[in-house]
Structure 1
Amino acid sequence: MQSYEESVTVEQAGRNLQEECMAGFGFDIKFPPAGTNPPPSNNSMNMPRRYGITDRETAARYGYQLSESEEARPQGPQLSEAAVAVLTGRKGRGPNAELAPDTYKGKKIPKDGCAGSSFAKVGGRLDGSLPETLAYESQTKSQERPKVRSAIKDWSDCMKKSGYDVADPYDAVKLNPSSGNGQASQAEIATAIADIDCKKQTDLVKIWFEEETSIQHEQIAQNALALDELKKKNTAAVKAAERVLRG
């Protein structure tokens, strides 16, 4: 999987190239910098809540809420119809937009517009559907492993002793209705702490992680050629992007 840092590098290089390309057609376009709204995880595999909430210190302050509220996403530039056509190679927006004319003021528009040609120079946006699918399957399959099912039951029994009737760690967040203001109630905080303490007492996260790791080792062996090829493309894209950013 492409890490968040790698994706920002490729995205920023692509945006820089788009600005240069658009300038060649007479458009002074400035895109917001990449990486201004980092997600709560590095990618969909390397994430802190893959097995539910686990950070007790964070839970004691925020319950099941994220520790930091998302900042407003910077808005991109307002583009005229002509600028959209040069940027995307399409007339208008959306998947059904028609192809734009081949030229703008006598200058040929690149295939798929400045956006398409810019990202093509850094290897294009990677198709991460294979590792994403494997990550989803490994998580789903791991929940059916006997050791994990037993550990989840132990966790559920532990939660019941604390006064919470819940069978699945992913459902624990539903035990307290949301306040709607993004703030955790004391009841939610108490639930989150009990959730984490029960995970620790039953060794649920360690058991679950080990079982899923075993499944992923099998997946990697079964898909080695495709994953190696994707890794090579990602490495090449990041290196190309770094060259662009260095100028």
Structure 2
Amino acid sequence: MRRFLPLLPLLLLAACLALTACGPGPGPRAADPRPLPSGDPRYRPLGAYDTTDAEAAVLGEARWTLAKECMRGLGFDSLRELKVRPAPPWPRRPAGTGVLTLEVVVSDEFRYGVQDPEQAAAHGYRSPAAEDARHRPRRQWTLPEYLALTGDFVGDDPRTVHGYPIPARGCLGQAERRLHGGVDPRDRTDPVRTLSDQALREARRDPAWKSADRAWSACMRAAGYGYATPQDAQEGRDRREAELKQRLSGGPDADGPTGQEKRAATADARCKQRTGYVRAVHAVDVRVQARLVAGHRGELERQRARVREAVRTARAVLESR
């Protein structure tokens, strides 16, 4: 499952960067819906309750269909021809408005970190799909369009456009409420994501996982890195200064991975392969997830029912247009 999480605006105030709140991404993208063998690193017991690719596509198209209608109601007739299949990426605040935005992608594809040395050498700690999306042409929204779509206000941003008040969380937020029975899913805890995060925290405390971390760390030391865990390598505190300088440089690939990141990620992936890291930690993760599913089955089934109902609503929206 891949989630394009809210864009993270960084306010440039008095030469310092301040992190602000943000809106949601286009939604989850589940793994291949075909059943996976339990030994496949992509297999997750919680995956049975997650949103599928097909469902996410329907929800995304309906979300943007409704948002486009809302925007036209606010006076943005220029969006009449906006294509909504596939759903556009989540809007980015336009450059030059006092805010630097970073797009964060959380993906179960990287649940255990980078695994392919060739991909790591090319993309660092970014997934190839996320890098492809980053380089793909995307619509450049004006500030009024962005605010009307997202309702992500900063400072003195206007709360109206063309004399109309912007809906709470913008036209996209209004669309989400329409699809999800009047409740924005951002205001409701997602038990799949919550339990998935809990499983990872618990699994990392398991002796078998810690043993895998130690074997990986020893391999990384031989490669010249002092990271204790793959999470430390991915976080890369020793790379932050170089990465920030690159992002603020304004160059053609300012948001891309640095050379330092690519080299660290490549060593990381090689050590995972040499030590059998992914196989070891996946077995622990599956065991913990299975236990959590057994203890929260009712909650998970209710969440699955909510998603199915939202998809039915989305299909009705699309069929009526």
Report the TM-score when normalising by structure 1: 0.71
* Partner AA of 2:293 in structure 1: I
Q: Report matched runs for 1:112-191 at 5 Å.
A: 116=174, 119-120=177-178, 123-124=181-182, 125-126=184-185, 127-173=188-234, 174=236, 177=239, 178-179=242-243, 180=246, 181=254, 182-185=256-259, 188-191=261-264
The 10-residue stretch of structure 1 (221-230 or 59-68) with the greater mean CA deviation from structure 2: 59-68
Identity, % of aligned positions: 25
User: Take 1:114 and 1:152, find their aligned partners in 2: how far apart are those partners?
Assistant: 42
Structure-1 residue corresponding to 2:314 = 241
Structure 2: give runs of 5+ residues left out of the alignment: 1-49, 91-102, 149-160, 247-253
User: Take 2:195 and 2:76, find their aligned partners in 1: how far apart are those partners?
Assistant: 42
Larger Rg: 1
2:114–2:125 CA contact under 8 A, matched in 1: yes
User: Which structure has the higher relative contact order (CA within 8 Å, separation 6+)?
Assistant: 1
Report the Cα offset of residue 221 of structure 1.
1.1
Structure 1: give runs of 5+ residues left out of the alignment: 95-112
1:53–1:196 CA contact under 8 A, matched in 2: yes
Find the residue that maps to 1:216 and give its secondary structure: helix
Structure-1 residue corresponding to 2:281 = 208
Match of 2:268 among 182, 186, 195: 195
Report the Cα offset of residue 175 of structure 1.
7.1
Report the Cα offset of residue 239 of structure 1.
2.2
2:213–2:277 CA contact under 8 A, matched in 1: yes
Report the Cα offset of residue 15 of structure 1.
3.6
User: Take 2:179 and 2:257, find their aligned partners in 1: how far apart are those partners?
Assistant: 45
CA RMSD, Structure 1 to Structure 2 (Å): 3.5
2:180–2:306 CA contact under 8 A, matched in 1: no
Report the TM-score when normalising by structure 2: 0.57
* Partner AA of 1:184 in structure 2: T
Higher strand fraction (1 or 2): 2
Structure-2 residue corresponding to 1:225 = 298
User: Take 1:227 and 1:130, find their aligned partners in 2: how far apart are those partners?
Assistant: 6
Tell me: CA distance 1:117–1:54, structure 2 relative to 1, closer, same or farther (3 Å): closer
Report the Cα offset of residue 141 of structure 1.
0.7
Tell me: CA distance 1:84–1:115, structure 2 relative to 1, closer, same or farther (3 Å): farther
